Amino acid sequence: MSRAALVAEGIKNLLTGSSFSHDFTAVRKYKALYTLKELKTLRVTVMTSLIETQQISRSGRLDIITSGVVVQKNVDHSDNEEADSMLSLLEEISEFISESSYGSANWMENTIVIPFDADDLTQERVFTGVIQVKHQVAWIKD
């Protein structure tokens, strides 16, 4: 498995094995695409979105891996209460990830993007928030 996939899998496993204000089972996919019917249930998807590699020595490399934790749910857009609840969940997850470690991945920073797609919220009543998570993984080139 690639280093980036291992990081995403690690995030997924951390989230699934923990307790938050809303119950969910995180999944790892390459695209967070669900039907409106499926989004009646809260969906949390972990995906790899960017890999930057830097040389740190003659044979040493450093990958800066950006993963996305996508939180999606069908909400009543005329009332802020449900969307506020989803935003609170994003903040909980972001804080949790920043305080956790696993394997050789070292956490660097998180950025929360909300709403990720304002048209989805207005037209489809789907709240989509994304936590962009950066980790660094050092490795030796063969």
Number of domains in the chain: 1
Instruction: Tell me the per-residue pLDDT of 116-140, one tens digit each, with 9 for 90 and over.
Output: 677 777 777 899 999 999 999 998 9
pLDDT at 116: 67
CATH number at residue 97: 3.30.2000.10
Burial class (CB in 10 A: 0-12, 13-18, 19+), 131: buried
The SS3 call for residue 10 is helix
pLDDT at 30: 95
Given a contact cutoff of 8 angstroms between Cβ atoms, the answer to whether 111 and 131 are in contact is yes
Which residues span the domain enclosing 38?
3-140
Measured at the CA of 86, the angle between CA 77 and CA 80, to 5 degrees, comes to: 35
Say how far apart CA 108 and CA 105 lie, in whole Å. Answer: 9
Instruction: Tell me the per-residue pLDDT of 24-55, one tens digit each, with 9 for 90 and over.
Output: 999 999 999 999 999 999 999 999 989 999 99
Say how far apart CA 96 and CA 41 lie, in whole Å. Answer: 22
Nearest CA to 49 among 137, 139, 130?
130
The predicted model scores a pTM of: 0.91
Say how far apart CA 122 and CA 75 lie, in whole Å. Answer: 10
pLDDT at 85: 94
